[in-house]
Amino acid sequence: MIRRLHSLPGLFAAVLIATLALTGAFLAFDSVQERAGATVPPSGQVSVAAIAAAVQARYPEVERLVRTASGSVIAYYFEADRPGAVLVDPLTGGPIAPHEPSNLARTITNLHRSFLAGDAGRAAAGLGALAMLALCVSGAVLLAGHLGGWKALLRPSRGTMAQRLHCELGRAAFAGLTLSALTGVYMSLATFGIVPDGDSDRPAPALESSAGVRVPVAELAALRAVDLNDLRELAFPAITDPGDTYALTTAQGAGEIDAATGQLLGFTPHGLARRFYETIYLLHTGQGAWPLALLLGASALAAPVLAGAGALLWWRRRGAQPRIAGNVAPQTADTIILVGSEGNSTWSFAATLHAALTAAGHRVHAAPMNALAAEYGGAERVLILAATYGDGDAPASAKLFARRLAASKMRLPVAVLGFGDRGFPRFCQFAEEVSAMLSARGWPMLIAPVLIDRQSVQDFAQWGQALGAAIGTKLDLVHVAARPKTVRLVLADRVDYGAETQAPTAILRFVPPPVDPLSGVWRRWRTPRLPRFVAGDLVGILAPGAEMPRFYSLASATMDGVLEICVRKQPGGVCSGFLHALQPGDAIAAFIRPNPRFRPAAGKAPLILIGAGAGIAPLAGFIRHNRARRPVHLYWGGRHPASDFLYEAELNGFMADKRLAHLATAFSRAPGGSHVQGRLALDAAELRSLIQRGAQVMVCGGRDMAAGVARTIDSLIRPLGFDLRTLRMEGRYLEDVY
Amino acid sequence: MNKIAATLGLATTLAVPALALAPKAEARTVTLTTQLRPYDGDGAYLAIYLTDARGKFHSTLRVAGSKAKYYKHLRDWARGRTAEAGRIDGITGASVGSGQSLRASVEIADALIDAGYQIRIDTAVEDGRDNPSEVVVPLTAAASGKPVAGRGYVAAFRFDM
């Protein structure tokens, strides 16, 4: 619901808001610029009488003095019967420049207020502000949910580039945008008279003045008493009308001054409504408070980017919407698939499962977990595919599941498959809770719950086999997440390690295929290039005839000119076997999957890189790109220094040029062999001090190694008063595990 | 919202124009032509009205600009018409842009012509100038058809009868 509330007005109002935001940013920076150019004398230095006298000396027929919110003073006058307006120096009253409000600024102001479309446009601008307010509030609620509660609102966000951009930028711009939207709504309501602006529709009535002989303005007591910084406007009496008065408006109120006696004839303080409106106006425009104007302007600039990234997210989620062909009605189905998904990605797995079961002759109904019925007519089993949202919460389509389950008396055989990301501290927490709930209510488990890390299609296929065995149906779950567009790359060179220790591992470097000389000059601009990637991203490789891509961590970035991976040959592995058989010049089909979660944080804090075997690839990439020479400590485990010391020569080079500060290795098959976890424990004191100094830990390698490292690091930092969970939440413990 | 605004507009402009809606035989049609100078700014607000010889407000002839909240910038007219007991919505039109002209036909009672009354114009532009009584012409047969320049936004004003 909140998500819908966030995306619908967002999409409809994106253009509206982008226009409001961009014009608003222009106006904010315009007022900052005006303020930068204005001289504002300190309070008590210049009185209104003094500036009025100075201006009148230069422009005898001065008609009106206006002090803008930004502190500029403008004099409106007549000279030789021609009207003029001039920006004057508040200290001397001397002219600075003719006052000519720019057409651009005025057009932008009108675009901002009314889209150049009169009252209808004003109403649209008001609705735009309202939509923006709805977006800010619902966005904050969503972000809090995404990060795991209001207290976690300042934690680093995770996800794809667009997600992180949307979250980080939204968080940074939240205060400014909310303030702009809230005050904008109020100003719009005031424009239409729905809330008061405290501004009288009527002019102050003319007061009875002495109509005596006028004294010089410099001698008027009532004007000498007012500081220039409090002035809003001073209208001079008409020369032709002896009874006319000075009309003075200040920050506090408005009054009339007798031109002969200098007495205040009447003064009406601004009402509460007026003062409130002026505060709203100040908060909306930042005029007279330039740091606020800067904040508002910068926040407004973020709005179009937020809208763009938000629209992209919406489009991707829409692309992942369930499209289940041949979905059977719930009461006639023998198998019910329930999906708990926030971003809909889990639905594509459900669709694969649905298709496989249907092909095997089952009557299958798929629905969101929220749609759990109190009873199903002919169902023999329920299969639950549940993702986890944020810090172990139920995803949107499963929020009602617990309540609905409690209200039902059903007990059907059930299997639970959890989807999650080990990078989150509570991996698959929700799926585990669902299994516990079902067991507690006496639902028999068909097979033990399985948790799938980052949408692993292999794990999904394995789960399918186990499920098939349990229900007596052969299930081949070949899940193809929208087959990616691949590029052709050829092997440039390879370095082989580990043959002696039964761990054949190769460092493979790929480049774009050479340009075919026959393709002609006109095709030169289409010279094949490397796709865009950085170290730590993943390359998906489709072995010939294979349906499922295999992913490998990248040890290089596009700018290195090669795509470098490190591949251990798995017994019976199709893709690793294919890659190990490649000779220079042979081609592969590859695509990039960005892995923004696994990147060193910006800054100079130390990096602790931990890996084993081929897991060194992205770590070597990070070290290679450590141009800032931040202290990097590498812990790596292999089998034997003489056989599989991957990147040995490069690492020595990195040590020499300080890209790598410290290298610690552990070899399991060397005399007195050890694992990388053990090597970490040896350096406990050093590691503790690094972590205390804000070091980030990045782990890459097999699952068992990662679990061992996690235990070691956790016990190592306990004495410091924090734990692994905290480190993970702060984004300081990242894993890339396979 | 428009409706609310309109209602409020009515509420705040309750003033009867003492416009001489006298029988036809005793009134004549007067054409008012106001040509504005080119200026930088949004549409100008104008009030064209009648005063007696001392400048005391008599009645409103024509208003350009529909937002009542800005009327106070037409100071002389707005001050005068507080005494007015009628509506101006029938004689109110859109504001007049830079360099444009406003033509209006009004009925004026014969009794007011050549009787010491004046036609006055107040003008105002947002973030620009307020020009109370920038045009003052006697409502006489002799002044009819002769253009007069204002001190502010009015390049030329003439009335023909």
How confident is residue A493, by pLDDT bands cut at 50, 70 and 90?
A: very high
B4 contacts in A (CB within 8 Å)? 192-194
DSSP string, A264-284: EEEEEEPPHHHHHHHHHHHHH
Q: Residue A240's closest chain B neighbor by CA? A: B133
The mean predicted confidence, pLDDT, of chain A is: 86
Whether B12 has its CB under 8 Å from any CB of chain A: the answer is yes
Query: How confident is the model over A108-130, as a mean pLDDT?
Result: 90
Looking at the DSSP assignment, which residues form a beta bridge with residue A450? A417
Lowest mean pLDDT among A357-371, A380-394, A406-420, A699-713: A380-394
Query: How confident is the model over A290-298, as a mean pLDDT?
Result: 91
**Residue A483 CB partners (closer than 8 Å, separation 6+):** none
Whether B75 has its CB under 8 Å from any CB of chain A: the answer is yes
Nearest to A460 by CA among A346, A559, A290: A346
- Residue A669's φ and ψ, nearest 5 degrees, are -110, 10
Inspect the interface and report whether the beta carbons of A205 and B79 lie closer than 8 Å: yes
Q: In chain A, positions 120-149, which contact chain B (CB-CB < 8 Å)?
A: 120, 123, 126
In this predicted structure, what is the pLDDT of residue B22? Answer: 45
B127 contacts in A (CB within 8 Å)? 101, 106
B118 contacts in A (CB within 8 Å)? none
Q: What is the pLDDT of residues A186-223, one digit of tens each?
A: 999 998 888 888 777 666 666 777 778 888 999 998 99
Query: How confident is the model over A35-58, as a mean pLDDT?
Result: 90
Lowest mean pLDDT among A146-150, A389-393, A624-628, A630-634: A389-393
B57 contacts in A (CB within 8 Å)? none
Considering its fold, how many domains does chain B have in total?
Answer: 1
Facing B79 at nearest CB: one of A197, A206, A235: A206
Mean pLDDT by runs of 10 across the 161 residues of chain B is 41 43 69 92 92 89 88 87 63 88 92 94 90 92 93 92 87
CA A207 – CA B122 distance, rounded (Å):
20
CA A390 – CA A425 distance, rounded (Å):
9
Q: What is the pLDDT of residues A707-722, one digit of tens each?
A: 899 999 999 888 888 8
In this predicted structure, what is the pLDDT of residue B72? Answer: 86
Alpha helices (runs of H) in A394-456, residue ranges in sequence order: 401-406, 429-440
The enclosing domain of B93 has a CATH number of 2.60.40
Whether B150 has its CB under 8 Å from any CB of chain A: the answer is no
Is a pLDDT exceeding 70 seen at residue A107? yes
Q: What is the pLDDT of residues A541-592, one digit of tens each?
A: 988 877 667 889 999 999 999 999 999 998 888 889 999 999 999 999 998 8
Q: Residue A188's closest chain B neighbor by CA? A: B1
Kindly report the nearest CA distance between residue B155 and chain A, in angstroms: 11
- The answer to whether A368 and A385 are in contact (CB under 8 A) is no
Whether A291 has its CB under 8 Å from any CB of chain B: the answer is no
Nearest to B27 by CA among B113, B90, B145: B113
Instruction: Kindly list the distances between the CA atom of residue A146 and the CA atoms of A153, A290, A339, in Å, as whole numbers in the listed order.
Output: 9, 34, 19
Q: Residue A80's closest chain B neighbor by CA? A: B151
DSSP designation for A585: T
In this predicted structure, what is the pLDDT of residue B4? Answer: 43
- Residue A231's φ and ψ, nearest 5 degrees, are -70, 140
Nearest to A540 by CA among A497, A489, A583, A582: A489
The count of C-alpha atoms lying within 13 angstroms of the C-alpha of B27, restricted to the half-sphere facing its C-beta, is 13
What strands lie across the sheet with B27-36, from one edge to the other?
B101-109, B27-36, B154-160
Residue bearing tokens 């009004």: B106
Looking at the DSSP assignment, which residues form a beta bridge with residue A416? A384
DSSP designation for A186: H
How confident is residue A457, by pLDDT bands cut at 50, 70 and 90?
A: confident
CA A398 – CA A387 distance, rounded (Å):
9
B8 contacts in A (CB within 8 Å)? 193
DSSP designation for A600: P
Is a pLDDT exceeding 50 seen at residue A302? yes
- 3-state class (DSSP) for residue B33: strand
Q: What is the pLDDT of residues A124-172, one digit of tens each?
A: 999 999 989 999 998 898 888 667 667 777 776 666 677 888 888 999 9
Facing A123 at nearest CB: one of B1, B68, B78: B1
Whether B41 has its CB under 8 Å from any CB of chain A: the answer is yes
Q: Select, from the ranges A52-56, A240-244, A259-263, A348-352, the one with the highest average predicted confidence (pLDDT).
A: A52-56
Tokens of B75: 């100071």
Q: Which domain holds residue B11?
A: 2-160
Tokens of A569: 């040959």
Looking at the DSSP assignment, which residues form a beta bridge with residue B121? B48, B135
Is a pLDDT exceeding 70 seen at residue A698? yes
CA A296 – CA A558 distance, rounded (Å):
37
- The answer to whether A559 and A533 are in contact (CB under 8 A) is no
The count of C-alpha atoms lying within 13 angstroms of the C-alpha of A207, restricted to the half-sphere facing its C-beta, is 19
Lowest mean pLDDT among A85-99, A148-162, A369-383, A453-467: A148-162
CA A180 – CA A178 distance, rounded (Å):
5
In this predicted structure, what is the pLDDT of residue B66? Answer: 84
CA A444 – CA B123 distance, rounded (Å):
85
Whether A244 has its CB under 8 Å from any CB of chain B: the answer is no
In this predicted structure, what is the pLDDT of residue B128? Answer: 83
How confident is residue A43, by pLDDT bands cut at 50, 70 and 90?
A: confident
Q: What is the pLDDT of residues A50-80, one digit of tens each?
A: 999 999 999 998 989 999 888 899 999 888 7
In this predicted structure, what is the pLDDT of residue A505? Answer: 93
- The answer to whether A666 and A637 are in contact (CB under 8 A) is yes
**Residue A256 CB partners (closer than 8 Å, separation 6+):** A204, A206, A207, A209, A245, A246, A247, A248, A264, A265, A266
Higher-pLDDT residue of A260 and A313 is A260
- 3-state class (DSSP) for residue A370: helix
Tokens of A201: 């529709």
**Residue A488 CB partners (closer than 8 Å, separation 6+):** A512, A513, A528, A587, A588, A589, A590
Best of B1, B4, B37, B118 to disrupt the A interface by mutation (most A CBs within 10 Å)?
A: B1
Inspect the interface and report whether the beta carbons of B78 and A110 lie closer than 8 Å: no
CA A231 – CA A48 distance, rounded (Å):
7
Lowest mean pLDDT among A15-29, A175-189, A362-376, A385-399: A385-399
Distance of CA B8 to the CA centre of its chain: 21
CA B141 – CA A26 distance, rounded (Å):
54
CA A668 – CA A678 distance, rounded (Å):
11
Q: What is the pLDDT of residues A320-355, one digit of tens each?
A: 556 678 888 888 999 999 998 865 668 888 989 999
In this predicted structure, what is the pLDDT of residue A523? Answer: 53
Lowest mean pLDDT among A294-303, A371-380, A510-519, A676-685: A510-519
Inspect the interface and report whether the beta carbons of A110 and B42 lie closer than 8 Å: yes
- Residue A63's φ and ψ, nearest 5 degrees, are -110, -35
What strands lie across the sheet with A381-387, from one edge to the other?
A364-368, A335-340, A381-387, A414-420, A450-453
Whether A321 has its CB under 8 Å from any CB of chain B: the answer is no
Q: Residue A121's closest chain B neighbor by CA? A: B2
Nearest to A256 by CA among A271, A270, A278, A236: A236
Inspect the interface and report whether the beta carbons of B79 and A203 lie closer than 8 Å: yes
In this predicted structure, what is the pLDDT of residue A619? Answer: 95
Looking at the DSSP assignment, which residues form a beta bridge with residue A79? A82
Is a pLDDT exceeding 90 seen at residue A651? yes
B75 contacts in A (CB within 8 Å)? 203
Facing B72 at nearest CB: one of A103, A193, A203: A203
Is a pLDDT exceeding 60 seen at residue A673? yes
The count of C-alpha atoms lying within 13 angstroms of the C-alpha of A161, restricted to the half-sphere facing its C-beta, is 9
In this predicted structure, what is the pLDDT of residue A517? Answer: 61
